[in-house]
Structure 1
Amino acid sequence: MRRYGPAVLLALVGSAILRVSLFSELYLRYVQAGLRPCLVVSGVGLVLLGVVVGVVVRTSGEHDEHEEGNDGHTHGPAGPRVAWLLALPALALLLFPPPALGSYSAEREAAQRAAQGVGAFPAPPSGNPLDLTLGEFGSRAVYDSSRSLKGRTLRLTGFVTRDDDGTWYVTRLLVSCCAADATTAKAEVRGAGAPPVDTWVTVTGTWHPRGELGSDSAWPPVLDVISERSVRRVPQPDNPYEKR
């Protein structure tokens, strides 16, 4: 059985990739939606390669058994049993896919932001409340010289993070390609108590300007809410990340 190890490992990895990309939306926890076809092709290729390797090993085994009958011993190493440990990561991905990045990843980032110049932004769409991503809200609040968000009712969606002093934020992770390059966008929420950390919420309120535009004192931006009812718990979206 040990000689089938490479074939089994290839099939497990391929099945795990297909499980998260072809048969569910779980791949969105790790990569952008545009990479789905690549994942599906890779998964199918690995499964087929595992089948081919299994057939080759079986054929080779039959040949070895024939030669054993002629000279009394087998040919070719079966490989160490410890190699089966390589199957554990594939099984883990297949049976227990890791969750999307959350508060722990957001807190580890040292508030590094892409350099942007202060300037006038295009006027946002009309109507209240105005739905914004956390990235859009942060950019306009920190860099928009026209103060286009002032006086508008805003609606933001993300997960809850919290400081040791009780200050809490609605937070989202921004990715360019995959979860490995994630950065943080967040807004401090004032006027309502904090839900549990990592809870997904939609928060409705108004922008609270602070600090000089483009400075560290303007970050993170602040959202004032009217009451606890302005904070509504929501399910985690299929795609938990925003595109950077």
Structure 2
Amino acid sequence: MRRYGSALLLVLVGAAVLRISLLSDLYLRYVQAGLRPYLVVSGVVLVGLGVLAAVVRRDRESYDDEHAEGHEHAHPHHGPRVAWLLALPALALLLFPPPALGSYSAGREAAEVAAQGVGSFPALPAGDPVELTLAQFSSRAMYDSGRSLKGRTVRMTGFVTHGDDGTWYLTRLLVSCCAADATTSKVEIRGAESRDAPPVDTWVTVTGTWHPKGKLGTDAAWPPVLDAATVRTVRQPADPYEQR
């Protein structure tokens, strides 16, 4: 088995990549949807290289055995056994894919106000409730001089994080490329329907109205506030991240 160690590692890594990208939507926990074709191609190439390496190794050993008669047989050199530890991450990804980032990652990021000036935003679509991402709601709540959220009912989906004194937030992580560059967008939830905070990391859809807070474009306006009319538990979406 040790003779084919490098080939086996290539196949394991390739199979793990294909497991999360070709055979499921698990890759969305780590990267954007647009990167799926590249992951699939990478997985196929790694598996192909592993199979090719195994075939070349077998043929080389057969050739060496045929020409070893009458000569001192040299023992093949094997790499250190510790190299097999490289198989553990691949096996973990293949058998137990890590979950998407959640409340722990969101809690590590301090409040940050985007370098964005106050100005007007395009009108919201007609009809209530209007579906918004947390990033869209936050931008309008903090920077929209036209107050386009005023009097409108909005609906957003995210996971629950807890603050101090019973405060809880609807939270979502935003990514540009992959989970490694994730930043946090969150909205404080108030109102009669928010008194009993759901457990941390529970996914919920909240419907409600904007609660103005602080001066636009200042730290006092962050995080924005929503007065909840309904809070409904939902399943985690296939793509748990919002895109920038």
Q: Does the pair score TM above 0.5? A: yes
Give the aligned residue type for 1:151.
G
Cα 1:194–1:236 shift into 2, 3 Å: same
- State the partner residue of 2:59: 59
1:58 Cα deviation from its structure 2 partner? 1.0
> Is the CA contact 1:144–1:213 (under 8 Å) kept in the aligned structure 2?
yes
Partner of 1:23: 23
1:219 maps to 2:239: no
Runs (4+) of structure 1 moved beyond 4 Å?
A: none
Identity among equivalent pairs (%): 72
* C-alpha spacing 1:210/1:113, structure 2 compared with 1 (3 Å): closer
Structure 1 partner of 2:45: 45
Match of 2:200 among 197, 202, 207: 197
Compared CA separation, residues 113 and 175, structure 1 to 2 (3 A): farther
TM-score, normalisation: structure 2: 0.95
The equivalences for 1:97-136 within 5 A come to 97-136=97-136
- TM-score, scaled to structure 1: 0.95
Question: Does 2:212 align with 1:209?
Answer: yes
Q: CA deviation at 1:80?
A: 1.9
Partner SS state of residue 138, structure 2:
helix
| TM-aligned CA distance change 1:210 to 1:216, over 3 Å | same
CA distance in 2: counterparts of 1:2 and 1:231, whole angstroms? 56
Distance 1:75 1:113, change over 3 A: farther
In structure 2, stretches of 5+ residues that fail to align are: none
Return 5+ residue gaps in structure 1 as ranges: none
CA RMSD for the aligned pairs? 1.2
CA distance in 2 between partners of 1:17 and 1:137 (Å) = 35
Deviations 1:178-232 (A, max 9, x none): 1111111110001212101000000011100010000000000000123xxx100
What residue in structure 1 maps to residue 13 of structure 2? 13
